[in-house]
């Protein structure tokens, strides 16, 4: 099946290209399948790796030895190797590639995309939020510690039923914990706007260390400060934060944590910096979060939009130069 699947994908792609009359500029593989090197000498072969496929092999029911062979093979065939995180770039550099890091991005949330969420009106502020896939990538002990500390906890996203069923059930039955289950994509901005502090509580595993969590930037794009597990991608973002215009806000925008106690202490500090004295009343509502910090979060996220990532990707594969050359030829 492995051999025939890749061959069928190539055949289907060629059929679609012929039908559309398109000559591809580049072929991009986002997983280490047998798709590169079949498209002619003028086509750029690109491997854009978004996960540690070897570390994640067991999660996907695959052989880690097979995934390793495939990674080495695709890195050798690619004209360009891009990685979503510094950890992955370092890994594939060991295969003789010269990877460039192009992380995940975000789409900043606009105020008019948010709607009132009446089911959360009784959740005391400040509200700590976790939004995304719920699986064994998440450190459940962090969530329990946050609830133990008396903070309101909003959890949004689909649940992997294999993950800590009893412990998760006990957590979401607490009075200040609200679990929504999966929600439509168009509802996510409203839940982002309903939280005061976002968390990325990833376990320390090889797969997580190689990842670049989307949720961290999505919190920031909604004007929400973040406490994240201390993984390489978070280090990368934090370092970029300290180099830019938001450097003096760094400790109020993004904090790294090594364990449950670190998470709780960081949340307390962030909540205190968004205190009634700073906000001029009770903890800020969805529409009245401290404007200065929210705007600084969004300004930082604006440096990491999907549009900027796409422009970086186009430049790396030479597409931006080709587009510029073609525009010069236009009347």
DSSP secondary structure string for all residues of 210-245: T---HHHHHHHHTT--EEEE--HHHHHHHHHHHHST
CA dist 202 and 230 (Å) reads: 9
Mean pLDDT for the stretch of residues 86-95: 91
Dihedral sign, Cα of residue 116, residue 118, residue 121, residue 127: negative
* Beta-carbon contacts of residue 115 (< 8 Å; ≥ 6 apart): 187, 190
Question: In the predicted model, is pLDDT for residue 247 greater than 90?
Answer: yes
pLDDT digits (tens, 9 = 90+) for 280-307: 334 444 444 447 899 999 999 999 999 9
48: left (phi over 0), alpha (psi -120 to 50) or beta: beta
Question: In the predicted model, is pLDDT for residue 329 greater than 50?
Answer: no
What pLDDT is stored for residue 289 in this prediction? 47
Question: In the predicted model, is pLDDT for residue 121 greater than 80?
Answer: no
Question: In the predicted model, is pLDDT for residue 265 greater than 80?
Answer: yes
Residue whose tokens read 């949720």:
215
CA dist 314 and 139 (Å) reads: 36
Q: How confident is the model at residue 114 (pLDDT cuts 50, 70, 90)?
A: confident
pLDDT digits (tens, 9 = 90+) for 144-195: 999 999 999 999 999 998 899 999 999 999 999 999 999 999 999 999 999 9
Question: In the predicted model, is pLDDT for residue 112 greater than 80?
Answer: no
Q: Two tokens at 52?
A: 């540690």
* Whether 79 contacts 44, CB under 8 Å: yes
CA dist 316 and 28 (Å) reads: 12
- Measured between alpha carbons, how far apart are the two ends of the chain, in Å? 50
Mean pLDDT for the stretch of residues 228-251: 94
Percent of the chain with pLDDT over 70: 91
Share of the chain residues as helix, strand and coil, in percent rounded to the nearest 5: 50, 15, 40
DSSP 56: T
pLDDT higher at 103 or 286 = 103
Q: Residue ranges of the domains in the chain?
A: 2-105+307-329, 111-304
pLDDT higher at 141 or 55 = 141
User: What does pLDDT average to over the chain?
Assistant: 88
Class of domain 111-304: alpha beta
CA dist 101 and 203 (Å) reads: 23
What pLDDT is stored for residue 276 in this prediction? 44
Strand, coil or helix: 155: strand
pLDDT higher at 115 or 77 = 77
Question: How long a stretch of residues is the chain?
Answer: 331
Q: Which long-range contacts (CB under 8 A, 24 or more apart) does 145-148 make?
A: 145/260, 145/261, 145/263, 145/264, 146/199, 146/263, 146/264, 146/267, 147/171, 147/174, 147/176, 147/177
In what helix (H) or strand (E) does residue 27 lie, and over which residues does it extend?
strand 26-29
pTM of the predicted structure, to 2 decimals:
0.86
Q: What angle do CA 17, 19, 21 make, to 5 degrees?
A: 65
**Sheet of 100-101, strand order:** 26-29, 44-49, 80-83, 100-101
CA dist 65 and 54 (Å) reads: 7
Question: In the predicted model, is pLDDT for residue 52 greater than 70?
Answer: yes
Mean pLDDT for the stretch of residues 135-143: 96
Percent of the chain with pLDDT over 90: 71
């Amino acid at each position: 099946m492995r051999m025939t699947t890749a061959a069928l994908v190539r055949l289907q792609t060629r059929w679609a290209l012929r039908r559309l009359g398109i000559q591809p500029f580049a072929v991009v593989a986002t997983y280490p399948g047998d798709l590169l090197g079949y498209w002619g000498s003028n086509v750029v072969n690109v491997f854009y790796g978004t996960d540690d496929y070897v570390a994640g092999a067991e999660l996907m029911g695959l052989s880690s030895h097979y995934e390793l062979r495939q990674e080495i093979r695709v890195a050798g065939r690619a004209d360009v190797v891009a990685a979503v995180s510094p950890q992955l770039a370092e890994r594939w550099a060991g295969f003789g590639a010269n990877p460039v890091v192009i992380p995940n991005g975000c789409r900043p949330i606009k105020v008019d995309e948010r709607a009132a969420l009446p089911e959360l009106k009784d959740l005391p502020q400040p509200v700590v939020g976790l939004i995304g896939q719920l699986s064994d990538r998440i450190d459940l002990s962090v969530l329990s510690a946050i609830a133990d500390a008396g903070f309101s906890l909003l959890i949004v996203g689909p649940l992997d039923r294999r993950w800590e069923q009893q412990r998760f059930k006990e957590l979401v039955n607490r009075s200040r914990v609200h679990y929504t289950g999966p929600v439509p994509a168009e509802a996510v901005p409203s839940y982002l706007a309903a939280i005061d502090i976002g968390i990325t509580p990833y376990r320390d595993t090889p797969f997580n260390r190689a990842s670049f969590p989307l949720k961290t930037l999505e919190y920031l794009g909604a004007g929400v400060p973040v406490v994240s597990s201390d993984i390489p991608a978070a280090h990368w973002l934090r370092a970029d934060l300290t180099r830019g215009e938001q450097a003096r806000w760094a400790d109020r925008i993004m904090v790294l944590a090594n364990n449950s106690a670190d998470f709780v202490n960081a949340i307390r500090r962030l909540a205190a910096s968004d205190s009634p004295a700073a906000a001029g009343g009770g903890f800020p509502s969805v529409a009245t979060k401290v404007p200065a910090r929210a705007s600084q979060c969004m300004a930082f996220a604006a440096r990491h939009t999907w549009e900027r990532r796409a422009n970086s990707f186009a430049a790396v594969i030479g597409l931006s130069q080709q587009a510029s050359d073609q525009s010069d030829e236009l009347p």
